[in-house]
Every structure is written in C-alpha cells, then in structure tokens.
Amino acid sequence: MWFEDVPLGEKTILGSYTFTEENIIAFARKYDPQPFHIDRQAAARSIYGGLIASGWHTAAVWMKLMIAYRYGRVAAGEERTQANYVSPGVRDMRWLKPVKPGMTLTYTNETFAKRDWPTLPQFGLLEGKNEARDQEGTLVYSFINRVLIARRPAGSP
Amino acid sequence: MTDLLHFEDFAAGQVYALGTHVLTADEIVEFAQQFDPQPQHLDPAAAKDLLGGLAASGWHLCALAMRMIVDGLFGRAASLGAPGVEDVQWRKPVRAGDRLSLDAEVLETRPSSRAGRGYVRFRFSMRRANEGGNAERVMMFVSTAMFALRKGNA
C-alpha cells in the first residue's frame, strides 16, 4: 500500500489483546516497575484497588496489533506492497480507564489527514485517530499517530 | 516512608538527571520481537536502506525512558500514575551502543480537584552522548503525572 492508497475516514479494526496478570507484570518488571503494576498486594492498597497495566504496555500493544494487521493483509494478498513505516512521533495519548487483568481491548485506527513531508518528498505523512475499547465498548485509551509512508513511485501500479 | 517525594516537593524549573543507559542490539531486537517486529528493528541488513542500520523502536525508547523515570525519580516519590502524554517526538534513530541519558524538567504543578493528590507536568528528554562531549536530543515527551500530597496524607 502506498500513501496514495490509504483511505481517509475509514475505521479499521486492528485486532484485540487480552491483558493478564502475567503479561502485565512481565512488561512492568522490565519497563515500569511501579508497585501498582508489579505487586498484587501493594496494588490492592493503591488508589487503583488492584493491579493495572503500564500505560506504555497498552501503547506498545497497539504497535504489535498494527504490524500484525498490516503484514496479515500482505500475506493474504489484500495489499500488494509491504510498506515500511517511520514515525516522527505521536500525540495526545490518553489513558482514560485503568487496564486490569482479564480485560480484552480492541484497537482501531482511522486516518483523518494526509500531509506532505517536504524534507522527505518521497514520503507522505498520515495522521490517524486510534482507540482501544474494552469488552463493554468503553473507551480505555486513545491517541493520535503520525507516520510516514512511501508515495507510489512513478510507473508503479 | 516519609522521605518519599510528594506533590509539594515539585516546582516548575526543577531538572532531575535520571541516569544513563547503553542500549544493546539484543535489547532492541527483544522489544521489537514482542511489540514492533519491523525489519528496521530486527535485522541490521534489512534496516540499512530505511534508517541506515538497526534502530530501536520508538515505543522501546518510551518504555526505556519509563524505566529510567521509575529508577531515577518515581521510585522515590509518591507516584500515583499518569493520565496521559501530550507529545512524543522521535527525533533521531537510536542504535545499539548508543549511550543514552534521560532528564526530567518540571514544567508546571497544579493541585487536583480530587483530594490528596496533585499533577506535575514534565518534559522528559532522552539524549545521546556524542564524541565531542555534546549531547543531542533523540527523543522527548511531555507527560503529566499524579503524586500524593504530603499534607493530610499521614
């Protein structure tokens, strides 16, 4: 998929991920070892009343699901090219509801803007609205992603 | 635990140095295999044309920064978590062998409408040491974190 092929205003379901006590603690021990992320007893005494996932864990899972979705499309023949993505950054990350063991989040992405990127004219910038919702449909996490994707080379179909 | 940093201990303009970390290729690949399995984060050969060689996932840099924040600051503070991050900038590719330092600048503090806590807004900057002794900023984000108040929190 080239920059030109990305549809605007179309919501895509990227996939779902179930947070467990095991994967919450494993991530947090490595990257965010605060008591309410790694220690069940301490978490029970915290303002959260129990273990919650690191916000960066919730964020990294989006990337995991996005890549699995994109590579899956190519493997299934639904996209012809395997785009590489480079991102200058993201914004407005909001952790709206604590993520607890047993919660399954479904992540979506919707491109809302396509912009030129003058320093790398062979690329264009996509901006997308991203959401993760729990089983009840409640919004748990949202952010805006920004990613550079190659434009269709001249002569390419 | 009275020596923990509380909301009242933070003030705009403070800068905390949060240590250094030398990133390894194994760390880059391990994170990427789990969360960001793109060639530029997994395979030095495939990574050549895109970012000029193996480079860490931006999300890995955020997670690494969080670890340095906990080890260097939040671990000795009455941290209550964070509602979000305003602005993450991945400014330069970060590679194996890079010596990374992190600092936290307090931008503002404000009390919460909920009793017993307050908000501290930080700019976290990850910098890479260069041979000349200079440091270039490779990544930054602005984030608001919650801390317990010291008073009324006995």
Per domain, the residue ranges of chain A are: 3-150
Q: Which residue reads 């864990």 in tokens? A: A57
DSSP chain A: --GGGPPSS-EEEEEEEE--HHHHHHHHHHH---HHHH-HHHHHHSTTSS----HHHHHHHHHHHHHHHHHHHHHTTSSSS----EEEEEEEEEE-S---TT-EEEEEEEEEEEEE-TTSTTEEEEEEEEEEE-TT--EEEEEEEEEEEEPPPTT--
What is the biggest distance separating any 2 CA atoms in chain B, rounded to whole angstroms?
58
Q: Which residue reads 């993201």 in tokens? A: A90
Flag residues of chain A having pLDDT under 50: none
Whether pLDDT at B75 is above 70? yes
Distance in Å, alpha carbon of A60 to nearest chain B alpha carbon: 6
Q: Of B44-48, B75-79, B118-122, which gets the smallest average pLDDT?
A: B44-48
**What is the rounded distance in angstroms from the CA atom of residue B150 to the CA atom of residue B3?**
10
ipTM over 0.85: yes
pLDDT at B100 (0 to 100) = 97
Give residue B131's pLDDT band: very low, low, confident or very high (50, 70, 90). Answer: confident
Cα nearest neighbour of B51 on chain A: A86
pLDDT at A86 (0 to 100) = 86
Do A140 and A58 touch, CB atoms closer than 8 A? yes
Return the structure tokens found at A115. Answer: 């912009």
The dihedral sign for the CA sequence A10, A94, A106, B93: positive
**For the residues B94-106, what does the mean pLDDT come to?**
96
Give residue B49's pLDDT band: very low, low, confident or very high (50, 70, 90). Answer: low
Q: Of A53-67, B15-29, B47-61, B134-148, which gets the smallest average pLDDT?
A: B47-61
Give residue B19's pLDDT band: very low, low, confident or very high (50, 70, 90). Answer: very high
Domains along the sequence of chain B with CATH? 7-148 (3.10.129.10)
Give residue B154's pLDDT band: very low, low, confident or very high (50, 70, 90). Answer: very low
**What is the rounded distance in angstroms from the CA atom of residue B61 to the CA atom of residue B65?**
6
Residue B46, beta-bridge partner list? none
**For the residues B106-110, what does the mean pLDDT come to?**
98
Answer whether A120 touches B (CB < 8 Å): no
Answer whether B147 touches A (CB < 8 Å): no
Whether pLDDT at B130 is above 80? no
Give residue B116's pLDDT band: very low, low, confident or very high (50, 70, 90). Answer: very high
CATH number at A3-150: 3.10.129.10
Return the structure tokens found at A129. Answer: 């609205």
Look over chain B and give the mean of its residue pLDDT values, rounded to a whole number. Answer: 92
The answer to whether B63 contacts A86, with C-beta atoms less than 8 Å apart, is no
pLDDT at B122 (0 to 100) = 98
**For the residues B78-105, what does the mean pLDDT come to?**
96
For residue B89, which residues of chain A lie inside 8 Å, CB to CB?
Answer: 88-89
> CA B52 → CA A18, B15, B45, distances in Å?
35, 33, 9
pLDDT at A47 (0 to 100) = 93
**What is the rounded distance in angstroms from the CA atom of residue B88 to the CA atom of residue B68?**
16
Answer whether A95 touches B (CB < 8 Å): yes
**For the residues B7-18, what does the mean pLDDT come to?**
98
Return the structure tokens found at A107. Answer: 């992540």
